[in-house]
Amino acid sequence: MIEFKNVNYIHVNGIQALKEINLSIKPKTINALVGSNGTGKTTLARHINGLLKPTSGNVLVFGKNTKKISVASLSKRIGMVFQNSNHQLFADTVKNEILFGLNNFETDSQIKKNRFEWALNFFDLKKYENTSPLKLSGGEKKRLCIASVLAWNPEVLILDEPTVGQDQVQKEKMLKFISNLNKQGKTIIIISHDLEFLWPLKPNTIVMAKGRIKKTGKMTDIFSDDELLNQTCLMRPQLLDLWMKLNIKEEPPGDITEATDAIRRINGS
């Protein structure tokens, strides 16, 4: 579905943000892109919806080279929620922000109406319908960005740091929502430093360091690798840490409930 072939990217200031990236993202999967600040995660994501084109190498999306398709046609199928909400929001009201993408990408007026109402309500934005996006709090701005993109129902969703500024209630809601979207067949790519958030999703994990992909694989395998964690300054998620410290061989649990059940089972209680 998404393929990077020997991709290098040099920003205009001469910084090479991507080095020989080879990567394949399969349809209907949840993927996490992790790594410390400045390792090229956002730069890589911006290649998927064609906002950036490789300096050398190629990115293929749905079998087409991004150098040969317009950003607009890619955006319809690949929704991207930017890391910095202020780079995404531009309309005069919350309502118009959500309607902008919808009006561009959806023609059926009933579907448009339904999706608009859904986006507004699901992301708890109804009371701000006629407010300027600039007047929202940081967490609310992020939710508006996600709502605006999901409103037009793209096949692939890229979320760049979705949990920044979100309280625990919103994070849990987002977690369930991402999982449901994936069950409906969407491909999800999440860039995040919030490993505890990612853990229950059990994503395919792509670790970046200094513009390169260091390792890809299951989150459990990635975060069991002490040497990799030392090299990339990543912290092991707590439940995996607990499982390793208790030397439990079975698959680590996704959440506290699963952990409690497993420990009770193992103890025979």
Separation CA 29–CA 15 (nearest Å): 31
Separation CA 158–CA 146 (nearest Å): 10
The residue within the footprint of ligand ATP, chosen from 43, 192, 205, 232 (CB under 6 A), is 43
Question: Taking CB under 5 A as the rule, does residue 42 contact Mg ion?
Answer: yes
Annotate 10-36 with b (16+ C-beta within 10 A) or e (fewer).
eeeeeeebbbebebebeeeebbbbbbe
Shortest gap between Cβ of 104 and ligand ATP (angstroms)? Answer: 25
Separation CA 165–CA 268 (nearest Å): 41
The angle, 0 to 180 degrees and rounded to 10, between the axes of the packed helices 109-122 and 138-151 is 160
Shortest gap between Cβ of 45 and Mg ion (angstroms)? Answer: 8
By CB under 6 A, which span of 8-16, 21-29, 168-176, 179-187 interacts with ligand ATP?
A: 8-16
The residue within the footprint of ligand ATP, chosen from 4, 23, 30, 41 (CB under 6 A), is 41
Nearer to ligand ATP, 162 or 253 (CB): 162
Instruction: State the amino acid at position 20 in one-letter form.
Output: E
By CB under 6 A, which span of 40-48, 66-74, 91-99, 236-244 interacts with ligand ATP?
A: 40-48
Put residue 254 in one of left, alpha, beta given phi > 0 → left and psi -120 to 50 → alpha.
alpha
The residue within the footprint of ligand ATP, chosen from 6, 24, 27, 38 (CB under 6 A), is 38
Nearer to ligand ATP, 38 or 138 (CB): 38
| 154: nearest Cα among 73, 100, 84, 85 | 73
The token pair at 11 is 């920003």
Question: Which residues lie across from 30 on neighbouring strands?
Answer: 188
Nearer to ligand ATP, 51 or 244 (CB): 51
By CB under 6 A, which span of 10-18, 99-107, 168-176, 217-225 interacts with ligand ATP?
A: 10-18
| 206: nearest Cα among 220, 193, 222 | 222
Burial class of residue 183 in the structure, from the number of CB atoms within 10 Å of its CB (0-12 exposed, 13-18 middle, 19+ buried): exposed
Chosen from Mg ion, ligand ATP, none, partner binding at 236 (C-beta under 5 to 8 Å by type): none
The residue within the footprint of ligand ATP, chosen from 4, 32, 40, 59 (CB under 6 A), is 40
Question: Taking CB under 6 A as the rule, does residue 37 contact ligand ATP?
Answer: yes
Q: At residue 131, what are phi and psi to the nearest 5 degrees?
A: -90, 155
Question: Taking CB under 6 A as the rule, does residue 138 contact ligand ATP?
Answer: no
Shortest gap between Cβ of 230 and ligand ATP (angstroms)? Answer: 19
Interface of this chain with Mg ion, residues 52 to 111, rule: CB under 5 A = 83
Binding site for Mg ion (CB under 5 A): 41-42, 83
Binding site for ligand ATP (CB under 6 A): 11, 13, 15, 17, 35, 37-43, 83
